[in-house]
Amino acid sequence: MLRVENLGKCYQVSHLPHRNTVTLRDAIVDTAKSIVKRKPRVRSEAFWALDGVSFTIDQGERVGIIGRNGAGKSTLLKILSRITEPTRGRVEVWGRVASLLEVGTGFHPELSGRENIYLNGAILGMNRSEITRKFDEIVEFAEVERFLDTPVKRYSSGMYVRLAFAVAAHLEPEILIVDEVLAVGDVQFQKKCLNKMEDVGKEGRTVLFVSHNMQTIRALCDRGIVLESGSVAFNGEVQQAIEVYSEHSYQLMSEIPLLERRDRTGSGRVKVSSFRVLDTAEREVETLKSGLDYDFEFGYVNDSGKPLDNVIVSFAVLDDQGQTILLLRTNFTDSNVTLNSDAGVVRCRLNNLPLANGTYRLPIYFAYRESEVLDYIQDAVSIVVEGGDFFGTGQMGLPKKCKLLTKAEWRSL
């Protein structure tokens, strides 16, 4: 149904001498310099987002594409959905392809729900009779009957997402390409979407699915392809693929210093440079114990040359399935921080660590006010929790099934 042969995509990445030319004056000075020196101002460098990717997918297979940020997942999907052309290689496709790279592409805020169903349907490749036939089903699925004639700009974000997904879920292509779009909407609706997707797979359609959530991948797919810096690192049974992926993740997290990681997004004005966990005596610890108090320390370098106030620092704790167990943000507690003009550290005190034994991954995120993402690394670091005596009973052998611990009192009445 789909054969990919030696696919490659090359982007020209430009390097400006000053990475962030912020002011007009800088821009003028730069231009003037480049004219005087007669050197091209922009040096560009070839960057292969995909290189030598080959695989075959048969009809009815449900394949999960796994990989970290910058591994080439989106580029692959964009090539398969014909949005962008490959630089080399070849893809052969048997069947009609529909791709869902974003929920609600082409939704127009001024148009009503009814009008948007038609518009979005057409954009996703349905024809008019097909949309008319499925109209009621879509409306019912989205649960927006009462607001059909209201402009979608007046919809709540939940309703908007539901409607958008409902249209997409009723596509009937032979090959469906889905980017991480299920991570929207409330939990119940997500479940509904998952069920719908499972049905799609059962009807013998081919599904290509990208997600960071390993549990979703496991539930939906029978095969997994792991992409790593533009090449296929593993292609096979889904469970194995997930294991390969997490192994590689931990390897990456332990081997490459934070400052040199390339799988990051954000403006880069501030970068996370180090991570440590300290105990109450300020000693660095390797493994953590449940129930104790720790300082999580994030080092950063600030390239903007001036102190930044009102910076949001955030990190999450993800289990080995990619589920978020905890999320900590400075703006939850109105404790946004001010960063030094060159470098420094931010510490977060976590008392009575509620994590059960296991290995956890931590994404780290810095943002300037609400407006600018400074730095974000998805699987930045990992921590290991082992052998803690959370309840103070001397029992170490806590069940592995749960991730969060909390003190409780039991009574028999």
Chain residues that interact with another protein, rule: CB under 8 A: 1, 3, 11, 59, 78-96, 99, 101-102, 105-106, 108, 110-111, 115, 118-119, 122-124, 127-128, 151, 174, 204
Whole-number minimum distance, CB 107 to another protein, in Å?
9
Question: Which tokens is 59 given?
Answer: 């009809």
Q: How far is the CB of 383 from another protein (least distance, A)?
A: 36
If the CB atoms of residues 89 and 358 are measured against another protein, the closer one turns out to be: 89
* Cβ atoms of 235 and 91 closer than 8 Å: no
Quote the least distance from Cβ 2 to another protein, whole Å. Answer: 9
53 neighbors 232 (Cβ within 8 angstroms)? yes
Rounded Cα–Cα distance for residues 315 and 365 (Å): 6
Q: C-beta of 126: minimal distance to another protein in Å? A: 8
User: Is there a contact between 360 and 290 (Cβ–Cβ < 8 Å)?
Assistant: no
80 versus 377: smaller Cβ distance to another protein: 80
Q: What are phi and psi of 224, to 5 degrees?
A: -130, 140
CB of 322 to another protein, least distance (A): 24
Integer Cα distance of 160 and 104 in angstroms = 8
Structure tokens at 89: 């290689």
Shorter beta-carbon distance to another protein: residue 122 or 301: 122
- For another protein, give the closer residue by CB, 31 or 59: 59
Task: Determine the Cα–Cα distance for residues 258 and 271; give it in Å rounded to an integer.
Answer: 9
Toward another protein, which CB reaches closer, 72 or 354?
72
Strands (E), 16-165: 43-57, 62-66, 88-93, 97-100
Tell me the closest approach of the beta carbon of residue 85 to another protein, in angstroms: 5
In 10 A of CB 346, how many CB atoms? 17
Q: CB of residue 123 vs another protein: minimum separation in angstroms?
A: 6
Question: Which residue's CB is nearer to another protein, number 130 or number 389?
Answer: 130
- Say if CB 324 and CB 316 are below 8 A apart: yes
**Secondary structure letter of residue 154 according to DSSP:** G
- Choose between 133 and 407: whose C-beta lies nearer to another protein: 133
Q: At 412, list the tokens.
A: 């028999």
**In whole angstroms, how close is the CB of 108 to another protein at the nearest point?**
6
Q: How many CB atoms lie within 10 A of CB 400?
A: 9
| Residue closer to another protein (CB basis): 116 or 378 | 116
Q: Which residues pair with 15 in a beta bridge?
A: 43
| Token representation of residue 402 | 């749960």
State which residue, 81 or 215, has the beta carbon closest to another protein: 81
Token digits for 183? Answer: 């991570």
What is the number of other CB atoms lying within 10 angstroms of the CB of residue 238? Answer: 21
User: Within 13 Å, how many C-alpha atoms sit on residue 214's CB side?
Assistant: 21
Smallest gap, in angstroms, from Cβ of residue 310 to another protein? 30
Q: How far is the CB of 69 from another protein (least distance, A)?
A: 18
* Whole-angstrom distance, CA of residue 204 vs CA of residue 183: 24
Write down the least CB distance from residue 199 to another protein, Å.
18
Q: How far apart are CA 276 and CA 280, in angstroms?
A: 13
The residue among 3 and 329 lying less far from another protein, judged by its C-beta, is: 3
3-class DSSP string for 169-220: HCCCCCEEEECCCCCCCCHHHHHHHHHHHHHHHHCCCEEEEECCCHHHHHHH
Q: Which is nearer to another protein, 153 or 369 (CB)?
A: 153
Q: What share of the chain is helix, strand, coil (3-state, %, to 5)?
A: 30, 35, 35
